[in-house]
């Protein structure tokens, strides 16, 4: 038994070291953690640090966000982004209730679809105190749909003859993660890429007010101090600091890199906690909610943008 525990710890430690490598993406880390967990290879002690690593990673990522770019982006596309974010959140929560999916999983999938995919889920998970399997399913849904979107959206845009501006807005609303939005838009053209990046940035900003609202509602139930996402205050402070002190740009870039890698490690730890019983309990329903919400968002946004 001791040898088995030592082997599990050694493998888990090696995987965490690999998470610092550039070829290990968040999706790879998540799926690797799931595969190892289902194979009986996990480390219960490491799970105790998941929430802390997740929060600190969000804070460090703030050092890579430019305040001037944020302010400029907020001047355009604000209304359509606000309506889409609110509509997706409401639709997702209602759909989750209808399918009797766990509340936390529903909220995470809805936020991931409405705002910025895995980043929103990672930031929101510690605020709502979601169980690790709930975060895992939400992340899996987002990553799978991101991969599909990256390939099919450019062809849909060409098939329907969308302009670059319309296509850029469409993918920024209908695709979850920024990397997939950029990838799909870049295939379509420079104008589409610029439009998509701007609208996506505005969408991503909504994670801050969403976290505050959820924390306030949670605070009424559990106590304001315990439910308040203090790490988001540090995230905003990191954005301000990196923007006000450009002379330290190189150092801030290093901190941002560390945050990105920390996020990869967090996703590995989250995936490494999943069990067969978790999959049976909510796996299928989580994918149904994610797929329906994704299709609904894509179709409605397409109709609105082309009307």
Q: Residue ranges of the domains in the chain?
A: 2-305
Asked whether 119 and 221 are in contact (CB, 8 A), the reply is: no
**pLDDT tens by residue, the chain, 307 residues:** 444 454 567 787 788 899 899 888 777 887 888 788 878 777 667 767 777 787 788 788 778 766 666 666 555 556 777 787 888 889 999 998 898 888 888 989 998 888 877 778 877 887 887 887 788 778 888 888 887 887 899 999 999 999 988 998 899 888 887 777 877 888 888 888 878 877 777 777 777 778 777 777 765 455 444 445 566 678 778 888 888 888 888 898 899 899 888 878 877 887 777 767 666 666 678 888 889 999 999 998 899 888 8
Q: What is the pLDDT of residue 47?
A: 67
Helix (H, G, I), strand (E, B) or coil at 130: coil
What is the pLDDT at residue 159? 93
pLDDT at res. 149: 86
Of 153, 169, 165, 149, which Cα lies nearest the Cα of 79? 169
| Numbers of helices and strands, H then E, in the chain | 18, 0
182: closest CA among 193, 174, 167?
Answer: 193
What token pair was written down for 282? 């909510």
The Cα 220–Cα 222 span in angstroms is: 6
Q: pTM (2 decimals)?
A: 0.71
In 76-115, which residue ranges form alpha helices assigned H by DSSP? 78-98, 103-111
Per the CB < 8 A criterion, the answer to whether 57 and 266 are in contact is yes
Q: Helix (H, G, I), strand (E, B), or coil: what is residue 245?
A: coil
| pLDDT at site 227 | 47
CB 25 within 8 A of CB 264: yes
Helices 164-174, 190-205: axis angle to 10 degrees equals 30
Alpha carbons 32 and 266: distance in angstroms, whole number? 12
Longest dimension (CA), the chain: 65
Please report where in the chains the tokens 């895992």 appear, as a residue. Answer: 136
**Residue 240 corresponds to which tokens in the numbers above?**
């301000």
- Please count the CA atoms within 13 angstroms of the CA of 78 that sit on its side-chain side: 7
Q: Are 79 and 291 in contact (CB under 8 A)?
A: no
Instruction: Give the other-Cβ count within 10 Å of 157's Cβ.
Output: 24
Indicate the helix (H) or strand (E) that contains 20: none
């Amino acid at each position: 038994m001791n040898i088995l525990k030592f082997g599990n710890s050694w493998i888990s430690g090696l995987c965490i070291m690999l998470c610092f490598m550039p070829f290990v993406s968040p999706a790879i880390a998540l799926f690797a953690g799931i595969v190892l967990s289902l194979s009986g290879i996990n480390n219960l002690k490491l799970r105790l640090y998941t929430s802390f690593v997740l929060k600190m990673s969000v804070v460090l990522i703030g050092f890579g966000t430019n305040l001037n770019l944020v302010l400029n982006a907020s001047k355009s596309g604000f209304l359509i982004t606000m309506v889409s974010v609110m509509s997706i959140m409401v639709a997702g929560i209602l759909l989750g209730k209808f399918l009797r999916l766990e509340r936390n999983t529903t909220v995470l999938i809805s936020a991931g679809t409405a705002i910025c995919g895995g980043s929103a889920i990672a930031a929101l998970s510690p605020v709502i105190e979601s169980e690790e399997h709930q975060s895992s399913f939400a992340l899996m849904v987002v990553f799978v749909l991101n991969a599909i979107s990256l390939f099919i959206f450019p062809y849909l845009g060409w098939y329907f003859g969308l302009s670059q501006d319309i296509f850029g807005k469409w993918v920024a609303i209908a695709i979850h993660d920024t990397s997939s939005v950029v990838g799909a838009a870049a295939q379509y053209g420079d104008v589409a890429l610029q439009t998509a990046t701007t609208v996506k940035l505005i969408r991503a900003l909504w994670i801050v007010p969403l976290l505050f609202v959820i924390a306030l509602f949670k605070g009424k139930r559990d106590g304001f101090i315990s439910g308040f996402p203090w790490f988001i205050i540090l995230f905003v402070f990191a954005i301000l600091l990196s923007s006000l002190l450009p002379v330290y740009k190189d150092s801030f870039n290093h901190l941002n890199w560390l945050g990105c890698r920390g996020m990869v490690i967090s996703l590995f730890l989250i995936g490494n906690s999943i069990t067969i019983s978790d999959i049976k309990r909510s796996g299928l329903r989580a994918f149904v909610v994610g797929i329906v919400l994704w299709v609904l968002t894509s179709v409605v946004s397409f109709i609105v943008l082309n009307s």
